[in-house]
């Protein structure tokens, strides 16, 4: 049996830049591997929760029904949940569509583009395609978030300092890291 903390990560509606910043902790990854087990993450390609984890990192906002399900599952399976980056905290660039009616967004994306033949006047819809929400939501509007690490993306140092403190059972002492009270 191990005393290592467990960490899970996921990317919702964003660009994966926060995960890239997480990977930029560089040689500290060796230290991290000594301190944690990484579960359910694009970094490990583990798709489901094998057990409850200590710390979850969420990057990206919530733009479709699948994102809602994934985020709720993370909240249920993580003791501490962290919104990582501006998309998770405020919706980020994907939220620029929030002031445009969804119907107009879909028509612009699928019907009024030069590469769509006029004979294919179709907006894709199928039960296997996630249903797009009326707007892009920040994660804390869907589930309780314990900490926020801002940035686009947050710096590797910010992520490392916050993770290291939480792994050691301490409160992160970093100007950019905020707890949700």
Q: What is the per-residue pLDDT across 134-149, written as a single tens digit (0 to 9) for each?
A: 999 999 999 999 999 9
Q: Is the model's pLDDT at 175 over the cut of 50? A: yes
Instruction: Give residue 21's pLDDT band: very low, low, confident or very high (50, 70, 90).
Output: very high
pLDDT tens digits, residue range 65-90? 999 999 999 999 999 999 999 999 99
Hey, is 91 helix, strand or coil? coil
34 vs 95, more confident: 95
Structure tokens that stand for 11 in this block: 């990317």
Q: How far is CA 121 from CA 97, 134, 144, in A?
A: 22, 22, 40
Region 44-53: mean pLDDT is: 84
Q: Is the peptide bond before 153 cis (omega within 30 degrees of 0)?
A: yes
96-152 tens-digit pLDDT: 999 999 999 999 888 888 887 766 778 888 999 999 999 999 999 999 999 999 999
d(CA 23, CA 21): 5
Confidence class of residue 45 from pLDDT cuts 50, 70 and 90? confident
Structural domains of the chain, with CATH: 5-97+134-179 (3.40.50.700)
Nearest Cα neighbor of 32 from 12, 55, 50 is: 55
């Amino acid at each position: 049996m191990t005393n290592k903390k467990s960490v899970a990560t996921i990317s919702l509606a964003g660009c994966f830049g926060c995960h890239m910043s997480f990977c930029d902790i560089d040689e500290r990854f060796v230290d991290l591997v000594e301190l944690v087990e990484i579960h359910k993450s694009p970094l490990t390609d583990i798709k489901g929760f094998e057990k409850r984890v200590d710390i979850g990192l969420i990057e990206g906002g919530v733009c479709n029904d699948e994102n809602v399900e994934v985020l709720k599952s993370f909240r249920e399976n993580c003791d501490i949940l962290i919104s990582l980056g501006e998309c998770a905290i405020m919706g980020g660039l994907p939220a620029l569509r929030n002031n445009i009616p969804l119907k107009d967004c879909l028509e612009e994306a699928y019907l009024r583009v030069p590469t769509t033949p006029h004979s294919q006047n179709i907006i894709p819809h199928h039960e296997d395609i996630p249903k797009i929400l009326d707007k892009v939501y920040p994660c804390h509007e869907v589930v309780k978030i314990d900490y926020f690490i801002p940035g686009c993306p947050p710096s590797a140092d910010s992520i490392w300092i916050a993770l290291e403190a939480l792994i050691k059972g301490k409160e992160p002492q970093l100007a950019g890291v905020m707890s949700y009270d």
